[in-house]
Structure 1
Amino acid sequence: MIFDCVRRFHNLFRKEDLVIISSRRSRLSSAVVGVAVAALATAGAATVVARTTTAEAAADVPAAAVPLAAGVEDEGADCAVTLPGSLTANSRLPDPFTRLNGTRISSRSDWRCRRAEIRELAERYVYGDKPAKPASVTGTVSSSGITVNVSHNGRSSSFSASVSLPSGTGPFPAVVVLGGFGADTAAIRAAGAAVINYDPYAVGREGTPRNNKQGAFYSIYGSSSSTGLLMAWAWGVSRIIDVIEQAGGNILRPDATGVTGCSRFGKGAFVIGAFDQRIALTMPIESGSAGVPIFRGIPGEGAQSLSSAYGEQPWLGDAFGSFTSNPNSLPVDTHEVVAMFAPRGLFIMDNPHITNLGPRSASVAALGGAEVYQALGVGGNITYWSDIQDGNHCANRAEWRTPLQQNIQKFLLKTGNAAGAMRISSRASGNLADWRTWQTPTLSDGPTTPPTTPPTNPPTTPPTTPPTNPPGTGACRVTGTVSAWNNGLTEDITITNTGTTAVNGWALVFALPSGQTITSGWNASYSPNSGQVTARNVSYNASIAPNASVSIGFQASHTGNTARPTAFTLNGAACSVT
C-alpha cells in the first residue's frame, strides 16, 4: 500500500526532413501485425457507456467483449514513420487525428499507424528511444519473485522484482508497482491480482548526470544514451513481461498485466503503459510535470517548471532540453500520449490541492486523450479522477478504492464492465476547448486509403450570429448520459442534425435541473451556469452537416437532483431527446 511517510522518503519537489524507420519496426512480422489490427478493429467496435452517445450506451459491455491488451509490445512496429524536418510553433494542442503528412484519419483501423507516428514523435522529442526487445531475454518466475537476464550486442545486465500473490488459485493477473509507491496494494490483492514490486532504480538510477546514466538499461545501451530514465524504466517492465510470457503462465498471466506508481513513479507508470501495448491497465497517480499534464499548460498553471523537471533528474530524454522554455514548438503533447493507451484501460488519479503537480493541465490531457477513446468507440475505458478531499501527496484515498477494484475486474480479471468516468475537481478543472482547434471525427469501422494531399476545406469559422436557416422542429436530436456521485456529476451530450441542410454556427439551449450548477465544460461555451443555459459552439465544431453529430459535455455540482437537462432547442428549434 502507499506509505504515509512517502513525503519524507520520496520528495517530488527537491532541487535537484529526417526519415526514420525504427529498427524495432522491422522486427515484427506482418502476420502478427495483421492479427493485431484485426483485434484493434474488433475492440474499437465494442459498446461502452461513459463518454459515448446514448445510442452507443444502450447496452452494457459484456465482460467477454472488453478490449484486450495487444499480444505484442508495439503493434505498429511495421508502420513507416517520416518525422518532420522542421518544427512549427503551435500554442494549441496538436491534432491526434491528423497524420504527419497533413491528412486526417477516417477509420478506426487508421489509428494503428497514426499511433505509431505519435510514438516516434514522443520518443524523439520527449522521452528518448525505447529499443526493441534485446537479442536475449531470459529469467524465472516464482511465487515470490521474477529474475530478468538481458544480453545484447556483447553486453549484459540483470535485475529482479519480488512478487506477492493474492489468495486463491492462479494463474493470476498482476500489477507492477513502482518503487513501493502506487495504488493500494492491499486493494489490488483483495481484488484478485498479484503485486510485482519493481525497483526502477535498478534499471535507471536517479542522482546521475545525463552523460553518465547508470542501471541495467544503460549497461546495455551505454551510460551516455540520450534515453531518459522514464523510458529506461519502461524498457525494464517490458523485459519483465517478456519473462512472464516465456514462463508459460502457470503463476502469472502474461495477458493481464497492470502498472501503477505515484509521484515520480507516477510519471514512470504513465510512460511504461503508453509504450507497451501488452499492458492492459495503467494507473498513474499524481504524476506532475513530466507525467500526465500537458507541457503547453504547465507554464501558465504554475506547476513545477519544465526546466526544473528536466534538471531535477534525467527523467526525460536529452532532446527535451530544447523545449523546456518553449513547449509550443513540440510536435506532440501528453494528450496524445494518453491517446496511445486506447483502447486499453487507463485510470489516472490526480490531486487538485497541489498546484505544483499541474492538475489542471493533467485534466486537459485526459480530456484530449479521451476524444481518441471516444472516436474508437471505447470511451468507457478511460477514467480521470481528481475529485478528492485529502490533499496530502500520495495519500491512500477512499474515493479511489471502488474504481480501482472496478478497473482491475474489467481489464485484468475480465469479470466486470464498469464504465470509466471524468471526475474532475472544480478546484483544478481544465477546459479542452481552450487548447484545441481540431474536431473529433466520426471514424468508420473499415480501412480507408488515406488521401495523398491535405484536405482543402478546414473547419469552418463560426459566424457571430446564428444562421438564418436553422433546422425546423424535429430536425435535431439530443442524446446524453449522466455520471453522478455524491455532490457532482458529468453530462455527455451528443447533438445530431437530423435535417437536410448543414447547421453553421449553433446555440443549444436547455433547462438545467434545480440545484445543479455547471463548474466546467468541454467542446462548447456555457452561460449562465444554472437555470436556462446556452451552450454555444467553439471554432472547431461550428458546422454540423446533415446526419452528423457533435459531442459536448459539462461537469456540475448538485444538491441531490441528478436528473438530465430538459427542453433542448437548437437555434430556436425544439430537439427530440433520447
Structure 2
Amino acid sequence: MRARRLRPALILLAATAIGLGGVVTLASGAASAVEDDGADCPVSVPASWPASTKFPDPFKRIDGTRITAKSDWRCRREEIKKLAERTIYGTKPAKPATVTGTVSSTGITVNVTENGRSASFSAGVELPSGNGPFPAVVVVGGFGADTATIKAAGAAVITYDPLAVGKEGTPRNNKQGAFYGVYGSSSSTGLLAAWAWGVSRLIDVVEQSGGRILKADALGVTGCSRYGKSAFAIGALDQRVALTMPIESGTAGAPILRGIPGESGSQPLSNAYGEQPWFGDAFGAYTGNPAALPVDTHELVAMVAPRGLFLMENPHIDWLGARSGSVAALGGAEVYQALGAGENISYWSDVQDGTHCASRPEWRTPLQQNIQKFLLKTGSAAGTFRISAKKAGNLAEWRDWTTPVLTDGPGGSTTPTTPTTPTTPTTPPPGGACTATASVNQWTGGFVTTVRVTAGAAAITGWTVTAALPAGAAITSVWNAGRSGDTGSVRFTNVGFNGSLAPGQSTEFGYQGTGTGAGTTVTCG
C-alpha cells in the first residue's frame, strides 16, 4: 500500500520536471518518461458543451481561454484526453497496482493485478541483427508496417495480439479479454482504449526489465485497418510511445468524425460503432450527430505531438475515408507547428497500389527515416505531407480558429498565423480552357498548398499552372504534378493520369514549402 500512496506524488514530480523542461522536450520530440505527463492537471469535464459543425479549437481550454505558451500544452492535452475518453474511447485506466513480467529475446509476458482481479497476456519478439539493446516497434495484430523494413532499419518487432486483451465479436454488455477480466465485462471502455491499455502494460514490463534487450525510451507502434485504429489510439494515449505509425485506419481511426458523414462511400459512424465495440459505449450518442462532440480526431493527432507521427492512408478505397484523414492530419499539424515540432509529423496517401494494407514502396524510405529519427535517434529527416489528389481535404472548410504563436514560457503572444483560406479563382485564359484555385494550410515556417484545376466548357488533354509564390517561400516537395522551379514564379504541369479532363471536371495537385504560402496566386493555361 505504501508504494500505491507514493505513486501520485511521483507522477506529479515527473510531470513538473517535464513541464519545466518542456522546451527541450518539444524541440526534440522525445517520448515522455511517463504514460500521461498531465495526470496531475486539474480537469473538470462539463456536463454539456455547445455543438458545432466546425472543428473544436485545440488551443482553447475548457474554460474558454486560449493557451499562450508551449508549456500550457501539457494540461490542455490532458483536457482533450479526458474529453476523448468521455465521448469516444471510454476510460483508459492508469497503471494497475501490480504489473510484473519478463522480457526475453523471443517474447514478453505481462501479469497485472488490480482490486483483487488478475490477468495475463504475452507478446512475441523478433530481434534484428546486431547487438542490443534495441529499439522496437509494436506491430498490432502482426499486421502493420513492413516488418522486414523495420528490422532492416535496426529495430526489433514486438508482435502484440490485441484480441487477448479485448476480444472482438462480443456484445457491449459482455466484453471479454484480459482488460475486461480486470475491469469488468460491462465496462463502458471500448476495445481501442483496452488495446491501448495492453500496450501500456507491455511498456511497463519493458521499463522494469532494465533495458537489457529492448529500450523502453525507443518504442514505436504500427498497425493497419482495425489495428491501424488501435495504433492511432495507442500513440495518442501513451506518451512513452516515441513513434506512432497507423496505416489505413478508417472510421474510428484518424479520419475526422465530423467529415465521415459527408465523405461518399466512407464507413458510417453507426456502422463502425455496431461492427465491433471499438468505440466506447458513450459514442453511441454521437453516431448520428458528430457535430455534438467536444473533440475530433485532429485533436487526437495533436495529442501525439511533439512525438513522431507517420500517418499512412489509402485513397483508392472509399470505405477508408482518406479525405477526412488528410483533414485530421492538417488540423493536428497546426498544433505540431505551434509547438515547434512541425518536422515530426508526416502524412502520405499519394500511393499507386490500391490494395488494402499492401506493403508499398512509397512508404519504405519515410518508414526507415522515421525509425532512424525517433527510435535509433540517428536521423534528422523532416516530416512531409504527400496528399493524394483523389482524397485531398481542405482544412479551411473545417476550422474557424487561427493558430497562435506559442512562446516558450507562460504569458506568451497570441498573435495568430495566417488562417487557411482559399484564394479567389483566377480569370480563365482566353477560350476558358481551365481555371485554378489554391488553398493554403499555413503554419509557422511552412505550408501545404492544394491546387484544384478545373476544365472550362471544352475538354482538355493537358494543363499548366503557374503559381506566383510570395517572397521567401520555397517549395520542398510536390505531388501529382511536374514542376519547374522552387521559388518565385513556379510552373506545374500535369502528369500522365490527370491531364485529360472532361468539360467542368476537376483534378488536384499539391506541394509543400517553407516560408509563407498565403498570398500565392495561380493561373491555369
TM-score, length-scaled by structure 1: 0.75
2:123 counterpart of 1:165:
no
* Map of 1:33 onto structure 2: 15
1:522 to 438, 441, 449: 441
Q: Deviations over 1:8-48 (max 9, x none)?
A: xxxxxxxxxxxxxxx9995653221122113432133x3xx
Alignment coverage as a number of residue pairs = 466
Q: Shift in Å at residue 448 of structure 1?
A: 3.0
2:284 and 2:451 map into 1 onto residues whose CA distance is: 39
Instruction: Give the residue type in structure 2 aligned to 1:558.
Output: A
Equivalent position of 1:197 in the other structure: 159
Counterpart CA distance in 2 for 1:438 and 1:554 is 27
1:111 corresponds in structure 2 to 73
Residue equivalent to 1:59: none
8 Å contact kept, 2:247–2:357? yes
Task: Provide the aligned C-alpha RMSD in A.
Answer: 3.4
Structure 1 position 133 matched with structure 2 position 95: yes
Question: Cα–Cα, structure 1 residues 518 and 393, in superposed 2: closer, same or farther, change >3 Å?
Answer: farther
Distance change in 2, residues 1:164/1:441 (3 Å) = same
SS at match of 1:210: coil
Distance in 2 (alpha carbons) for counterparts of 1:570 and 1:283: 28
Counterpart Cα distance in 2 of 1:94 and 1:380:
24
Q: Give yes or no for the alignment of 1:266 onto 2:228.
A: yes
Number of the residue aligned with 2:250:
288
Alpha-carbon separation, structure 2, partners of 1:571 and 1:369: 19
Aligned to 1:558: 481
Cα–Cα, structure 1 residues 125 and 572, in superposed 2: closer, same or farther, change >3 Å?
Answer: closer
Aligned to 1:323: 286
Q: Deviations over 1:151-172 (max 9, x none)?
A: 0100000000010000000000
Greater RCO, 1 or 2 (C-alpha within 8 Å, sep 6+): 1
* Distance in 1 separating the partners of 2:244 and 2:365: 16
1:210 to 150, 157, 172: 172
- In the other structure, the counterpart of 2:116 is 154
Structure 2 counterpart of 1:397:
360
Give the superposition deviation at 1:565: 3.3
Aligned to 2:504: none
**Alignment partner, residue 387 of structure 2:** 424
> Is the Cα–Cα contact under 8 Å of residues 25 and 76 in structure 1 kept in the other structure?
no
Pair 1:370 & 2:333 matched = yes
Whichever residue aligns with residue 248 of structure 1, its letter is G
Q: Helix, strand or coil for the counterpart of 1:211?
A: coil
Offset of residue 87 of structure 1: 2.3
Q: Deviations over 1:410-439 (max 9, x none)?
A: 000000000000100000000000000000
**What is the CA deviation profile of residues 58-98 of structure 1, one whole-angstrom value per residue up to 9, with x for unaligned ones?**
xxxxxxxx331000000000001111221211001000000
State yes or no: 1:229 paired with 2:211. Answer: no
CA distance in 2, matches of 1:424, 1:162: 34
Name the CA distance, whole Å, in 2 between partners of 1:99 and 1:395. Answer: 40
For the residue of structure 1 that corresponds to 2:210, the secondary structure is coil
Q: Provide the rounded CA distance (Å) in 1 between the counterparts of 2:181 and 2:440.
A: 48
The CA distance in 2 between the partners of 1:360 and 1:506, in whole Å, is 20
Map Cα deviations across residues 342-390 of structure 1 (whole Å, 9 max, x no partner): 0000000000001110000000000000000000001000000000000
Which is worse superposed, 35-44 or 200-209?
35-44
Contact 2:327 2:394 in 1 (8 A): yes
Give the secondary structure class of the aligned counterpart of 1:81.
coil
Residue 54 of structure 1 is matched in structure 2 by none
Matching of residue 253 in structure 1 with residue 215 in structure 2: yes
1:410 to 364, 367, 373: 373
Match of 2:144 among 161, 182, 188: 182
Q: 1:146 to 1:424 in 2, by over 3 A?
A: same
Q: Measured at CA, do residues 525 and 419 of structure 1 come closer, stay the same or move farther in structure 2, by a change above 3 Å?
A: closer
Cα-to-partner distance string for 1:524-559 (whole Å, 9 max, x where unaligned): 8978886555899xxxxxxxxxxxx99999966432
Matched to 2:166, the amino acid is: G
Letter of the 1:337 partner, please give it: L
In the TM superposition, residue 305 of structure 1 has moved relative to its aligned partner by 0.2
Cα separation, 2, equivalents of 1:109 and 1:97: 12
The percent of aligned pairs where both chains have the same amino acid is 63
Deviation readout 1:429-456 (Å, 9 max, x if unpaired): 0000000000000001112399xxxx9x
Q: 3-state SS of the aligned residue for 1:212?
A: coil
Cα–Cα, structure 1 residues 179 and 526, in superposed 2: closer, same or farther, change >3 Å?
A: closer
Go from structure 1 to structure 2 and tell me whether the alpha carbon gap of 1:439 and 1:572 turns closer, same or farther (over 3 Å shift).
Answer: closer
Using the alignment, how far apart are the partners of 1:507 and 1:569 within structure 2?
18
CA contact (8 A) 1:517 1:557 kept: no
Q: Check 1:30–1:550 CA distance in 2 against 1; reply closer, same or farther (3 A cut).
A: farther
Give the Cα separation in 2 of the matches to 1:179 and 1:438.
38
Structure 1 residues not aligned, in runs of 5+ = 1-22, 47-65, 460-493, 497-504, 510-515, 537-548, 574-578
Q: Distance in 2 between matches of 1:553 and 1:409?
A: 21
Residue matched to 2:238? 276
CA contact (8 A) 1:522 1:552 kept: no
CA distance in 2, matches of 1:408, 1:572: 36
Amino acid at match of 1:91: T
Counterpart in the other structure of 1:145: 107
Question: Residues 28 and 77 of structure 1 are in contact (CA less than 8 Å); yes or no, is this contact kept in structure 2?
Answer: no
Residues 350, 386 of structure 1: 8 Å contact kept = yes
**Distance change >3 Å, CA 138–CA 106, structure 1 → 2:** same
Partner of 1:32, secondary structure, is helix
Give 3-state SS (helix, strand or coil) of 1:29's partner.
Answer: helix
Q: Which residue of the partner structure matches residue 202 of structure 2?
A: 240
Q: Is the 8 A contact 2:476 2:486 kept in 1?
A: no
TM-aligned CA deviation for residue 571 of structure 1 = 12
Q: Which residue of 2 aligns with 1:472?
A: none
Indicate conservation of the 8 Å contact 2:302/2:332, yes or no: yes
- 1:167-219 Cα distance to aligned partner (Å, 9 max, x none): 00000000000111100000000000000000000000000000000000000
Q: Assess if the C-alpha contact under 8 Å between 2:423 and 2:438 holds in 1.
A: no
Task: Name the CA distance, whole Å, in 2 between partners of 1:571 and 1:266.
Answer: 34
Indicate how the Cα distance of structure 1 residues 528 and 268 shifts in structure 2: closer, same or farther if over 3 A, else same: closer
The one-character-per-residue Cα deviations of 1:436-492 (angstroms, maximum 9, x if unpaired) are 000000001112399xxxx9xx99xxxxxxxxxxxxxxxxxxxxxxxxxxxxxxxxx
| CA deviation map 1:105-132 (0-9, x unaligned) | 0100010000000000000000000101
1:297·1:361 contact (CA, 8 Å) conserved in 2? yes
Distance, in Å, in 1 between the alignment partners of 2:292 and 2:9 is 32
Contact 2:166 2:180 in 1 (8 A): yes
Q: 1:551 to 1:40 in 2, by over 3 A?
A: farther
AA partner of residue 310 (structure 2): F
Q: 1:280, 1:102 → 2: CA distance?
A: 31
One-letter amino acid of the counterpart of residue 323, structure 1: Y
